[in-house]
């Protein structure tokens, strides 16, 4: 015998089945402001960012903070320059990135991070670190790097009366005693590309390397080009930039450092892309590094 359901019950049953179908696989959505449509959550929206300190963008750099990367009179804990001033290339870039990510200057906090600690494995007490840190595959095993915010060449500084003061090629440096700060690509350039006959000297800090140069304990100090201009203009007035080195292999670049697999890496890169596309990053470089662009190339 066939049972006949009342029409209202049949409609109700069909509606119940339809409501159950497909609901298990539905992804969570956020209601749109109008129209009843739905939109995906933006992981780079300010209120979605996973920060080390709620409501603040925490940026790390070393102390002292040197020109032309940082500027302003030192305040509080800071020596030489003040990253919080917004002056100097890296300070200006950091605040520009912060603004692109939705933060005001008042919502930015700076913390001291020694250079070599920035790319060590382990948790970080900063959201990103900006400190003339060159990308290197070995470093990238332990941390994330942002895209380039500055393409850099290495250079060598010497006293005016040094035996390498008039060098014009890498070959002219083969017999020189060179030095560089520890853990830097400057030191790597000496050992991998110049390969001098004398063991290069390594220094814990830039200041220690400058002191060795002034004391004539080394013939030349290898640093990135903008730092070389600062050294010869301020720290070693009787010094000169002998020349900058050609790029060998991939272009060296500075990137911001983040914790390994940080969800912020994509957001920082997105901010950098906007700054590049708008021309603002180029303008910041022109403002703070415009006189740091030329030096003879040692072939």
pLDDT in tens, 36-67: 565 668 999 999 999 999 999 999 999 999 99
Domain membership flag for residue 6: no
Per-residue model confidence (pLDDT) at position 269: 98
Instruction: Tell me what the mean pLDDT of segment 182-199 comes to.
Output: 95
Residue 221 lies in a domain: yes
Residues 269 and 147 in one domain: yes
d(CA 218, CA 157): 10
215 in the same domain as 263 = no
Work out the average pLDDT over 107-127.
96
Q: Tell me, what's the pLDDT at 36?
A: 55
Quick check: is 130 in a domain? Answer: yes
Q: Looking at residue 175, which CATH number applies to its domain?
A: 3.40.190.10
For residue 297, give the DSSP letter: B
- The pLDDT, as a whole number, for residue 291 is 60
Q: What's the burial of 216, exposed, middle or buried (CB within 10 Å: 0-12/13-18/19+)?
A: exposed
* 80: region left, alpha or beta (phi > 0 left; psi from -120 to 50 alpha): left
The neighbour count for residue 269, using CB atoms within 10 Å, is 18
Position 4 confidence tier, pLDDT thresholds 50, 70, 90: very low
Looking at the predicted structure, is the pLDDT value of residue 119 above 50?
yes
Together in a domain, 211 and 256: no
> How far is 206 from 66, CA to CA, in rounded Å?
10
Assess if residue 178 is contained within a domain. Answer: yes
Entry pTM? 0.79
- Whether residue 283 sits in one domain with residue 140: yes
State the Cα–Cα distance between residues 213 and 216, nearest whole angstrom: 5
Residues 240, 178 within the same domain? yes
| Number of domains into which the chain is organized | 2
Share of the chain above pLDDT 90, in %: 80
> Is residue 139 domain-resident?
yes
pLDDT of residue 16: 36
- Same domain as 260, residue 141: yes
pLDDT at 217 over 90: yes
Give pLDDT tens digits for 247-284. 888 999 999 999 999 999 999 999 999 999 999 999 99
Q: Do 281 and 160 sit in the same domain of this protein?
A: no
Q: Which residues pair with 157 in a beta bridge?
A: 221, 241
> Does any domain span residue 67?
yes
Cα-flanking dihedrals φ and ψ of residue 117, to 5°?
-75, -25
Q: Does a structural domain hold residue 109?
A: yes
CB 253 within 8 A of CB 136: no
Domain check: are 256 and 215 in the same one?
Answer: no
Q: Does one domain contain both 118 and 183?
A: no
Q: Please check whether residues 189 and 229 belong to one and the same domain.
A: yes
- Dihedral of CA 118/123/129/135: which sign? positive
Q: Are residues 164 and 122 in the same domain?
A: no
Q: Please state, for a pLDDT cut of 70, what percent of the chain lies above it.
A: 85
Model confidence at 210, pLDDT cuts 50, 70, 90, reads very high
Decide if 226 contacts 69 (C-beta within 8 A): yes
Residue 2: is its pLDDT beyond 70? Answer: no
C-alpha span between 73 and 294 (Å, rounded): 27
The per-residue pLDDT for 41 is: 84
240 and 167 in one domain? yes
Instruction: Return the pLDDT at 163.
Output: 97
DSSP string, 183-249: TSHHHHHIIIII--SSPPEEESSHHHHHHHHHTTSSSEEEEEHHHHHHIIIII-TTEEEEEEPPP-S
Domain of residue 170: give its range: 154-244
Report yes or no on 171 lying in a domain.
yes
């Amino acid at each position: 015998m066939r049972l006949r359901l009342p029409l209202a019950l049949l409609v109700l049953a069909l509606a119940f089945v339809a409501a159950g179908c497909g609901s298990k696989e539905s992804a969570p959505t956020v209601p749109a402001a109008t129209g009843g449509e739905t939109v995906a959550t933006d992981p780079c929206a300010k209120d979605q960012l996973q920060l080390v300190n709620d409501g603040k963008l925490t940026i790390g750099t070393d102390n002292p903070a040197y020109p032309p990367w940082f500027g302003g009179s030192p305040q509080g804990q800071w020596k030489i320059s003040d990253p919080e001033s917004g002056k100097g290339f890296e300070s200006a870039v950091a605040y520009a990135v912060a603004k692109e990510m939705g933060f005001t200057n008042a919502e930015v906090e700076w913390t001291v991070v020694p250079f070599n600690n920035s790319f060590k494995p382990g948790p970080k007490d900063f959201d990103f670190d900006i400190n003339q840190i060159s990308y290197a595959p070995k470093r990238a095993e332990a941390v994330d790097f942002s895209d380039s915010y500055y393409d850099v060449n290495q250079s060598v500084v010497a006293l005016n009366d040094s035996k390498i003061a008039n060098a014009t090629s890498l070959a002219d440096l083969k017999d020189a005693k060179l030095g560089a700060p520890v853990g830097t690509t400057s030191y790597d350039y000496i050992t991998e590309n110049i390969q001098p006959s004398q063991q290069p000297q390594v220094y814990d800090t830039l200041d220690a390397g400058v002191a060795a140069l002034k004391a004539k304990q080394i013939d030349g100090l290898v640093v990135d080009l903008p730092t070389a201009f600062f050294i010869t203009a301020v720290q070693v007035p009787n010094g000169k930039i002998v020349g900058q080195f050609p790029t060998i292999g991939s272009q060296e670049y500075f990137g911001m450092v983040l914790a390994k697999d940080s969800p912020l890496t994509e957001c920082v890169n997105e901010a950098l892309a906007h700054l590049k596309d708008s021309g603002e990053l180029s303008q910041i470089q022109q403002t703070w590094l415009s006189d740091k662009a030329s030096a003879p190339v040692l072939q």
